[in-house]
Structure 1
Amino acid sequence: MGKRTIILAAVCVALMFAAGPIYAATAVDDVIKMENKAYKEHEKGIVTFSHKKHNEEYKVGCGECHHDDKGKPLNDLKMGDDVKNCIECHKTPGKMPGSVKKDLKANKASKKEIKAKELEYHAEALHENCISCHKDYNKKNKTKAAPQACTKCHPKKKK
């Protein structure tokens, strides 16, 4: 083999290895299991979210779920763009304890302050994102098709 052929083959192999991580970072699963290792134990069954169905069938844009640190929708995202997991910003696993909410109210916190504190909690943020969208969809379409009850998204927990 000539020197040129060997160099060309080496460049091709290097490009294949370089492209692998790029492709892996941009692949989006059709169905996402909403399981997070930050939880020692899940209170309810794990939700399986059909990313493909929401995006393609329901025409839900990226910015309707994904947002920046100010809550502004990331409308310019394209399928496969690298995004943070919810837990990276909504860092506290679970829901906000009632005692925290009670303390906030006792200290005359505004509704906006209470909501901001709630959104620090991972489960609160996810539920707010999904349920508010489902409520809006149902109201707009005069239907009850988008689930809002726990058992409609969370399967029965296996014992």
Structure 2
Amino acid sequence: MGKRNAVSWLAVCVGLMFAAGTLYAATAVQDVIQMENKAYSKHTKGIATFSHKKHNEEYKIGCGDCHHDADGNALNDLKMGDDVQGCIECHKTPGKMPGKLKKEMKANKASKKEISAKMMEYHAEAIHANCISCHKDYNKKNKTKAAPQSCTKCHPKNK
């Protein structure tokens, strides 16, 4: 192999290493995630901190326990580092469902299923339903109150 070919192959190999490193970095998961979202113009409560690593490694919670498809089915085939959409991609309306809308739906004889489906369009409703229901199940199963379920346990006071 000539000197020119060797240099070319070396350049290709180095380029592939950088490309692989870039792909890995693009899908790296932060150990701790600040649950801040730009869809909210103003946060009314402190920003919750979520320990992704602790939930996955220490608590043994699989990716599909939180990440789901459009029908709410767990994405159990995910593994750490896979690309996933953020909650706001599907639960597009910032905040919670207005109480007035819920009352209006009840007055129009909407079923619990219809009301629940409408609530899941709201980002805060979806996140809270996902987190709090898991925390309630954990506490009940383990006869504890270790997993937080109240606002102040996850949302620090604004300074």
TM-score range, shorter chain: over 0.9
Cα distance, 1:149 vs. partner? 0.5
Structure 1 counterpart of 2:87: 86
Structure 1 counterpart of 2:28: 27
Cα distance, 1:6 vs. partner? 1.6
TM-score normalised per structure 2 = 0.95
Structure 1 gaps of 5+ residues are: none
Amino acid at match of 2:17: M
Cα distance between partner residues in 2 of 1:21 and 1:110: 48
- What does the per-residue CA deviation read over 1:23-43, in whole Å, with 9 as the maximum and x for residues that have no partner? 122201000110000000011
Amino acid at match of 1:46: I
Structure 2 gaps of 5+ residues are: none
Cα distance, 1:13 vs. partner? 3.1
Say which SS state the counterpart of residue 76 (structure 2) adopts.
coil
Structure 1 counterpart of 2:137: 136
Larger displacement relative to structure 2 (117-126 or 25-34) = 25-34
Cα distance between partner residues in 1 of 2:97 and 2:21: 40
Cα distance between partner residues in 1 of 2:105 and 2:22: 45
Cα distance, 1:121 vs. partner? 0.2
Tell me the number of residue pairs that the alignment of Structure 1 and Structure 2 aligns: 158
Structure 1 counterpart of 2:39: 38
Say which SS state the counterpart of residue 33 (structure 2) adopts.
strand
Cα distance, 1:94 vs. partner? 0.5
Cα distance between partner residues in 2 of 1:75 and 1:67: 8
Cα distance, 1:16 vs. partner? 3.0
Runs of 4+ residues over 2 Å off in structure 1? none
- What does the per-residue CA deviation read over 1:43-95, in whole Å, with 9 as the maximum and x for residues that have no partner? 10001100010011111111110000000001111111110000000000000
Superposed CA RMSD? 1.2
Cα distance between partner residues in 1 of 2:19 and 2:59: 35
Say yes or no: does 1:99 pair with 2:106: no
TM-score normalised per structure 1 = 0.95
